[in-house]
Structure 1
Amino acid sequence: MSVERVMVVRRPLAEVVAYLEDFARTEEWDPGTLSCVRLDDGPVRPGARWRNTSRFRGRTTELRYELVVQEPARLVFVGENRTVTARDDLRFAEEGTSTRLTYSASLAFKGFARLAAPFLRGEFEGLADGVVARLPAAAAAWRP
């Protein structure tokens, strides 16, 4: 199951990427995230890991996320637990002095959880709409 949203952030591309490469900031822009904590130290780079606690359909769940792609105009994070693999793929393009962000998110359920996937689409779409409502303002307000 996947969703994709496109939004414009009123900041230069490099600043938007710098803001979003620290996945702990999902607390500020992802309506489902309750907390997100970095699990290692040092600069954010491929292999950096976070523990994300989120609420989905009234249930709290924890995923371990890892930054798997870090390019000047693309970030990919993959999160996993025993029932799901989540992937957040963020692609950036300059749009004047702003940045066009294409946000793609997917969930791949494991085992019996796969049976529930068709019933979860509406809520997953709603979370993606919440990202569009929150992320541009959060990134625009960020000060490095």
Structure 2
Amino acid sequence: MITVERSFLVGLPLDVLITYLEDFGHTEEWDPGTVRCVRIDEGPVRPGASWDNTSRFRGRTTNLVYRLASREPQQLVFIGVNKTVTATDVMRFEAQSALATRLSYTASLRFKGIARFAEPFLRAEFEALADKVAQRLPSAAVGR
């Protein structure tokens, strides 16, 4: 399994940031690997809501179906699945002031079958992608 973690400040109140990030469709704005992310069910965003996420990594395009697995007052958990990987994204929030929130973001990828043998070769690229998310997400969220 590959796990990457980043923690950074976002210039938004905690509740505003959670509302923005609980709609996984916004990943197009802050995740440089996401090409397209579309809600595939209807109704309010709540646990069980799901999205079709198309990402590009190492020149290849892949699709995962993500669902909001849980929404707590200070944590969101998304799980994305396809035939080769299960991705778990955990976002933890801590108010730093009335106008700023610390976001601790952990992304874990568990590869399936033969794909799991590629993990040691992919770790550095996922670390670099996590750095880009940490740079891009704060301004994307504030710019909404």
Smaller-chain TM-score bracket: over 0.9
Residue 11 of structure 1: SS of its match in structure 2? coil
Residues 1-144 of structure 1 aligned to structure 2 (within 5 Å) = 1-96=2-97, 97-142=99-144
The code of the aligned residue for 1:99 comes to T
Question: Per-residue deviation at 1:4?
Answer: 0.3
> What is the CA–CA distance in structure 2 between the aligned matches of 1:52 and 1:141, rounded to whole Å?
22
Question: Per-residue deviation at 1:71?
Answer: 1.1
> What is the CA–CA distance in structure 1 between the aligned matches of 2:72 and 2:28, rounded to whole Å?
23
Question: Per-residue deviation at 1:69?
Answer: 0.9
Question: Per-residue deviation at 1:99?
Answer: 0.2
> What is the CA–CA distance in structure 1 between the aligned matches of 2:127 and 2:28, rounded to whole Å?
18
Question: Per-residue deviation at 1:72?
Answer: 1.5
> What is the CA–CA distance in structure 1 between the aligned matches of 2:135 and 2:59, rounded to whole Å?
20
Unpaired stretches in structure 2, ≥5 consecutive residues: none
Question: Per-residue deviation at 1:47?
Answer: 0.4
Question: Per-residue deviation at 1:58?
Answer: 1.1
Unpaired stretches in structure 1, ≥5 consecutive residues: none
Question: Per-residue deviation at 1:108?
Answer: 0.2
The code of the aligned residue for 1:126 comes to A
Question: Per-residue deviation at 1:38?
Answer: 0.1
| TM-score w.r.t. length of structure 1 | 0.97
Question: Per-residue deviation at 1:78?
Answer: 0.2
> What is the CA–CA distance in structure 2 between the aligned matches of 1:55 and 1:87, rounded to whole Å?
17
